[in-house]
Structure 1
Amino acid sequence: MNQLSASQAIEETCSIVIDGKAFAKRLRGEVAEEVASFVADTGHQPGLAVVLVGSDPASQVYVRTKMRQAEEVGIASFQHLLGSETTETQLLSLITLLNEDDSVDGILVQLPLPEHINESAVIEAIDPAKDVDGFHPINVGRLSAGEPGMVPCTPLGCLLLLQDRLGDLSGMKAVVVGRSNIVGKPIGQLLLNANCTVTTLHSRSRDMVAECRRADILVVAVGLPEMIGAEHIKPGATVLDVGINRIENAKGEKRLVGDVDFDAAASKAGGLTPVPGGIGPMTVACLMRNTLAAARQRSHTSVTGGGKTS
């Protein structure tokens, strides 16, 4: 009896897991096919330039992953590794050259930057048409207005997973925990554009537990390990955990966890992304998607799927 119960529990948990890794693999396969078709039609290979300033280990890993996946889908990759002593003027000069380089369709400057460099100035220097991160104020404005433009990769990945899982999101109550410019604000706007009723919660919000429990869709992006528990979740809700936190147990062993207590949330949620293997893989896959979209836009061809999330 106990063995059967344990087996049923495992099966039930697996059924609610939203496998971002598998979805991202399918998305990269689709992008690879479309890149090959684009090259055949135009004779131009989409190009992605990634700029890394300094030697942050995590950033180095991210850059290598992006370069590898770009090559796997047929996108030319241009890597610019700059020392931590690089000045803001030098970095801006490189961006100007990349803006003018016709072989480069997408420019990504890996964040965070060293403290002596103004991130806003760097982001604003990137040609909005090549801003595959979707951080330029012009692209932020287009998203807010519901107009076509580059959409930040992590929020776009969240939206694609939700649409794949739930279909039409119209009328659903969505709660976003976190209001960062990189995730919280843009995912809220994407959900609003998808006709959800959206509430954004943050450090000054009152009665967060009750607000979260109203959500059909709960997106958590605050950077606090396992802060969301079963008490926050409406039965059957779909929960996307964007957080990535490295914690250490009493034995000094380190592991990655999200902003959601996975085991607790699994007892209530109807769908739940794991950490790792949930949103993370979608971010890089959507970067590839955005680079292809930028190449199409620059060559005046139509963007597959058209519209607001291209």
Structure 2
Amino acid sequence: MRSMSAEVRREPVESISEFQEQSFTCELPLEEKDFQNLSIVDEEFILPEKWPSETEHAQSLNFKVHRSRSSSALSSLNVSPKSEVYPMVKKPRGRLVIINNFKFGRQEVDVERMGRSQQDATSLDLLFKQLHFQTKQHSNLTLEELSAVLEKERTCDHASVECYVMVVMSRGDGDHIYGVNGYKICIDTIISMFDDEHCSSLRGIPKIFIFQACDDAKSKSVDEIKTATENLTSMVSSSTTSDQAVNMRADMFVVRATQDVAVDYHGVFGSRFIQSFVYLMRNLAFKEDFEEIIKKINLLNSVSEPEIVEYASSFSRKLFFNP
């Protein structure tokens, strides 16, 4: 990062073997308010030509996720729930972990960026609670603290969850995440910690990783975005066993911001990537699968910005959140 001191350019942790081997039990306290009735919508959602464009498109902190009147969002879809769709019926259905770094070292706090980052975290928390997820937030972690959180999550017993989501918002260079003390860790290392070999309790369960860690000083060209997308695809599919050629990173979906763009319009405040994601999820999660929703993020922002996200998937089925 150009705006960070020289000490932040220390070598990243590249191996998960550097983390301690410990065993933890995740606590998932249930709260009745997390499972309140959601708003019912009959009208067809139409993707706006420009977003945000009208007051009704604004993302406030009292939004409700839309759901259909039918008992199952899959009832009108031509798919077989058992063979083509990941099961998503439990309450809670999954676990969301948010890591939000916005205060770095001795630098003066960027108040605007801090507010934007906190708004994003709050919006994500509200969204996933309405999708019947238990949520956990961590803020301003050093690399050592981040490593400890990742290790605790990796060794949790996730047998009861049907989906696992991790969102990391911090400074970075695209391929690395910075702790607030300037040390960095490779995104590939984080992904490795939750593959089938290192996190057996999540084997067969859809795992979503969302990274907002861009180089603020530089906007990527189309060719750079294409190369980064190819690298991301390689990350998700590269870990195989030599004997059976089984993808140890199966059932993973990784989404990464290509640039950090702010949005502030009629109540929409935060990063364009995260707020677009929340906006689309709250309007479409009841009827469209996750990959189709992610594809629409760049379409939603195509008027104002170039491609702002890239993604790679090793999902073997479709994932419907079915609120």
Query: Greater CA radius of gyration, 1 or 2?
Result: 1
TM tier, smaller: 0.3 to 0.5
Structure 1 length normalisation: TM-score?
A: 0.38
Larger proportion of helix: 1
Structure ranking higher on relative contact order (CA contacts 8 Å, 6+ apart): 2
Structure 2 length normalisation: TM-score?
A: 0.37
